[in-house]
Amino acid sequence: MDRSPQQLNEGVPQLLNREIGILKFNERVLAMAEDPTVPLLERLKYLCIVSSNLDEFFEIRVSGLKAQVRTDPSFVLEDGKTVAETMRIVSEQAHALVARQYAFYNEVLVPALEREGIVFHVTATWNEAHAKFAREYFEREVLPILTPIAIDPARPFPRVLNKSLNFAIELSGKDAFGRNSGIAIVQAPRALPRLIQVPREISGYPHGLMLLTSVMQGCVGSLFPGMEIKGIYQFRCTRNSDLFIDDEEVTNLREALKGELSQRQFGDAVRLELSDNCSTSMREYLCKQFGLTSEHVFPVGGPVNLVRLMQVADLIDRPELKYRPFVPGLPEPIRKGEAKQRDLFKIIAKQDVLVHHPYQSFTPVLDFVRQAVNDPNVVAIKQTIYRTGNQSELMELLVQAARMGKEVTVVLELLARFDEETNINWAARLEEAGAHVVFGVVGYKTHAKLLFIVRREIGRTGATKLVRYAHLGTGNYHPRTAKLYTDFGLFTSDNQICTDVHELFQQLTGLGRHQALKQVWQSPFTLHDNVIAAIRNEIAHVKAGGKGRIIARMNALLEDKVIEALYEASQAGVKIDLIVRGVCALRPGVPGLSDNIVVRSIIGRFLEHSRAFYFFDNGAERVYLSSADWMDRNLFRRIEVAFPITDKKLKQRVIEEGLTTLLEDNALAWIMDGEGNYTRLVPAEGEKRRSTHGVLLGMLAQQITPQPAT
């Protein structure tokens, strides 16, 4: 953000605003919830995803904007807007998005769920049986662990945890001690489930649910006997959750991080969500307590945390209201033969193997590690870990390998946002087992996805030698997200790539000057320069009378030098297709600037997470897979890799499955214009509907369950 904006000749900025782009992305996700062709319980999930995304948006992006506004509100961003102006636009658009969310929830989703026998029993609709059930649940499960706090000089406003569910209660009358407090705060314990299933005989519906918010709304007044309850309002405060670690001062990253994590729950407030029936006086009181103004307040006509409704799909056994289950397939080399007889080392020694998740199974990755653990000839296992989850079979295998005496090295990224505590816990487990655990390079997040195995084998001459195997991926070693995110993984024993991976681990765990890698592009050293060079190479081919073609797929495109090079390529006549799931700062289709650039976003059943780069290169067709988006942080402040696909068959698979299928999509694709607005593609009259995710499931999945009859 410290660069001055690049300008067009007419004085129009060449770059679009990042924060506004994030909100535009969430509008596209919300459109999936609003799409009547999407199964009903999946529509509810999309609604929840928007809320989850907005939580992080406020915790990180808006909190950063607020800090800039305090420092210098007139500072001009890359898109030509001042920080203060951006903050105003973000507030307006975020309020409009939230209003659209709750309008859809109340006017469309809740009635549609009720028609399917799925009902949220809110306080205003309780009959006598519902009220009795709620009171009994409250007295049995909730009341014993609540701590009501009345506000008076001896009991000031409590420290409210980030994103916790709370109730502000307006009271009148005197209590047993003669005190006349008009306000009390009650925080809902986080240990309590937010959704309660109501027995059918009480609900009157096949699937009755009560939210904890409704139970407390209807019963919390019993905490204040003899007092008049004038109002009960749910509220939720979102706080700045960005962690600050001073790279120059830190001496023990893990201990410094633990100290920061303990304070994350109490960062500066950035958003206040509260019931839309909240009184003006209570609203003003809460704003004062959190140091917020009206632009930071989001009145909502429903649960203040829609994310909690994500659990509904798991509680309701209605397959016809969900996406059809599927059994992921396996790549042909691994599919051959019985599972118990597969020797992945023999397979990978013969040929590279490409796996495309989630259409193809994550199991080969687990099997690769499992075989390495159980094979006495494997002497070393090295792996980078960014996100892997609290429960991880892969991490348990690494612990087991260390206990067996193998050389296990894990480069564990402690600063993986919102997974810091999980990774700290895994670090302790691994160290206890005897693994070498390092936390990468201070100041550079380790985001590369690498697995490296060294095995002692007998060569043709009968002598033993050490043979290296590697897995490189675009996504995290996380079995759960591997079922939800699209990613590629490459198994290889290619000597040059394995040499590069070995060198990367040497960098991450040791010291020494950067050594040039043979095949792999690496940030912060060569990835940015090589991307720019590949773009300029296409320009050179066009100027020499040849063809120029670039297709690039990523989560976000923000880095200004890459964007500038793409503009130059467009002006030279290079045809460019960009598949950018999230925020894109490049302005496509602008006459004289980006006429030859088309930007599309695919939003559907799976989260598009793969990064793939294609350069025609005068017919050589260079294809790279990567862990990195084209963003400043990935190209300059992270350790990332882009690795080539050299096998002709696998290269064509990446081009077809990872790029052209998405370019042919007319069901999940959105086309972006030069102002950052998106239009969803729909099949033309008589044209067959073509969904990326449906096509690839048909190509790669082992089996897709037929849709149950409704």
Question: What percent of the chain clears pLDDT 70, i.e. is strictly above it?
Answer: 91
HSE-CB at 636 with a 13 A cutoff on CA atoms is 8
Tell me whether domains 326-515 and 522-704 share a fold.
yes
Q: Would you state the structure tokens that stand for residue 430, as one six-digit string?
A: 């691994």
Cα angle 335-340-345, degrees, rounded to a multiple of 5: 70
Q: What is the pLDDT of residue 4?
A: 38
pLDDT at 415 over 70: no
- State the architecture of 522-704 in CATH terms: 2-Layer Sandwich (3.30)
pLDDT at 2 over 80: no
Q: What is the pLDDT of residue 431?
A: 86
Q: Would you state the structure tokens that stand for residue 583, as one six-digit string?
A: 């925020």
Q: Would you state the structure tokens that stand for residue 397, as one six-digit string?
A: 């295998």
pLDDT at 266 over 60: no
Bind-site residues: 53, 387, 417, 485, 581, 609
Nearest to 245 by CA among 232, 236, 258: 258
Q: Which helix (H) or strand (E) holds 615?
A: strand 611-615
Do 307 and 55 form a contact (C-beta atoms < 8 A)? yes
Q: What is the pLDDT of residue 580?
A: 98
Q: Which residue has the higher pLDDT, 356 or 267?
A: 356
Residue 247 — very low, low, confident or very high, per pLDDT cuts 50/70/90? very low
pLDDT at 67 over 90: no
Do 451 and 372 form a contact (C-beta atoms < 8 A)? no
Owner of token pair 């655990």: 437
Residue 154 — very low, low, confident or very high, per pLDDT cuts 50/70/90? low
Q: Which helix (H) or strand (E) holds 614?
A: strand 611-615
pLDDT at 253 over 60: no
Report in angstroms the alpha-carbon separations of 632 from 418, 486, 629.
21, 23, 9
Q: Which residue has the higher pLDDT, 432 or 199?
A: 199
Cα–Cα dist 522/638, whole Å: 9
CATH 1.20.58.310 fits 1-115, yes or no: yes
State pTM to two decimals: 0.91
Partnered with residue 385 across adjacent β-strands are 412
Q: Would you state the structure tokens that stand for residue 493, as one six-digit string?
A: 């024993």
By the 10 Å C-beta count (0-12 exposed, 13-18 middle, 19+ buried), 608 is classed as buried
pLDDT tens digits, one per residue of 461-490: 888 999 999 999 999 999 889 999 999 999
Do 577 and 600 form a contact (C-beta atoms < 8 A)? yes
Q: What is the pLDDT of residue 511?
A: 72
Report in angstroms the alpha-carbon separations of 66 from 33, 90, 486.
30, 11, 34
pLDDT at 167 over 50: yes
Cα angle 632-82-10, degrees, rounded to a multiple of 5: 85
Nearest to 349 by CA among 494, 498, 496, 519: 494
pLDDT tens digits, one per residue of 652-700: 999 999 999 999 999 999 999 999 999 999 999 999 999 999 999 999 9
pLDDT tens digits, one per residue of 500-537: 999 999 999 887 677 889 999 999 999 999 999 999 99
Per DSSP, which regions of 622-674 are E strands? 622-626, 638-644, 669-672
Cα–Cα dist 69/75, whole Å: 8
pLDDT tens digits, one per residue of 354-380: 999 999 999 999 999 999 999 999 999
Cα–Cα dist 200/206, whole Å: 6
Cα–Cα dist 235/277, whole Å: 11
Q: Would you state the structure tokens that stand for residue 703, as one six-digit string?
A: 């089996």
Cα–Cα dist 689/683, whole Å: 6
pLDDT at 419 over 90: no
- State the architecture of 326-515 in CATH terms: 2-Layer Sandwich (3.30)
Owner of token pair 């799976």: 606
Q: For 370-399, what is the mean pLDDT?
A: 91
Q: For 20-40, what is the mean pLDDT?
A: 97
Q: For 634-640, what is the mean pLDDT?
A: 94
Return mean pLDDT, the chain.
Answer: 90
pLDDT at 6 over 50: no
Instruction: Give the burial string for 528-554 (b: 16+ CB within 10 Å, else e).
Output: bebbbebbebbbebbeeeeebbbbbbb
Q: Which residue has the higher pLDDT, 389 or 507?
A: 507
| Gyration radius (Cα) of the chain, Å | 28
Cα–Cα dist 444/72, whole Å: 27
Instruction: Give the burial string for 2-31 (b: 16+ CB within 10 Å, else e).
Output: eeeeeeeeeeebbbbbbbbbbbbbbbbbbb
Q: Which residue has the higher pLDDT, 511 or 447?
A: 447
pLDDT at 259 over 80: no
pLDDT at 176 over 80: no
pLDDT at 383 over 70: yes
Do 230 and 172 form a contact (C-beta atoms < 8 A)? yes
Do 528 and 561 form a contact (C-beta atoms < 8 A)? yes
Q: Which residue has the higher pLDDT, 552 or 258?
A: 552
pLDDT at 424 over 60: yes
Q: Residue ranges per domain, the chain?
A: 1-115, 125-321, 326-515, 522-704
Bind-site residues for ATP: 53, 485, 581, 609
Q: What is the pLDDT of residue 21?
A: 96
pLDDT at 180 over 80: no
pLDDT at 255 over 70: no
Catalytic site residue from 130, 207, 296, 447: 447
pLDDT at 169 over 90: yes
| Minimum mean pLDDT range among 90-104, 394-408, 413-427, 570-584 | 413-427
Q: For 396-407, what is the mean pLDDT?
A: 93
Residue 443 — very low, low, confident or very high, per pLDDT cuts 50/70/90? confident
Nearest to 343 by CA among 366, 368, 326, 306: 368
Q: For 282-292, what is the mean pLDDT?
A: 94
Nearest to 102 by CA among 48, 154, 143, 151: 48
Cα–Cα dist 188/142, whole Å: 8
Q: For 172-194, what is the mean pLDDT?
A: 79
Bind-site residues for Mg(2+): 387, 417
Nearest to 329 by CA among 634, 79, 701: 701
pLDDT at 636 over 90: yes
Q: Which residues are CB-neighbours of 185 under 8 A, at least 6 positions away? A: 148, 149, 151, 157, 158, 160, 166, 167, 168, 169
Cα–Cα dist 530/642, whole Å: 10
Cα angle 75-81-86, degrees, rounded to a multiple of 5: 90
In the residue annotation, 541 being an active-site residue is answered as no
pLDDT at 159 over 70: yes
Q: Could you tell me where the DSSP H helices lie in 320-458?
A: 332-335, 344-350, 363-374, 393-403, 420-433
Q: For 698-705, what is the mean pLDDT?
A: 89
pLDDT at 244 over 60: no
CATH 3.30.1840.10 fits 125-321, yes or no: yes
**Residue 474 carries which DSSP code?**
S
Residue 265 — very low, low, confident or very high, per pLDDT cuts 50/70/90? low
Cα–Cα dist 142/601, whole Å: 45
Q: Which residues are CB-neighbours of 85 under 8 A, at least 6 positions away? A: none
**Pairing of β 575-580 and β 449-458:** unpaired
| Minimum mean pLDDT range among 137-146, 168-177, 215-224, 651-660 | 168-177
Q: For 170-195, what is the mean pLDDT?
A: 80
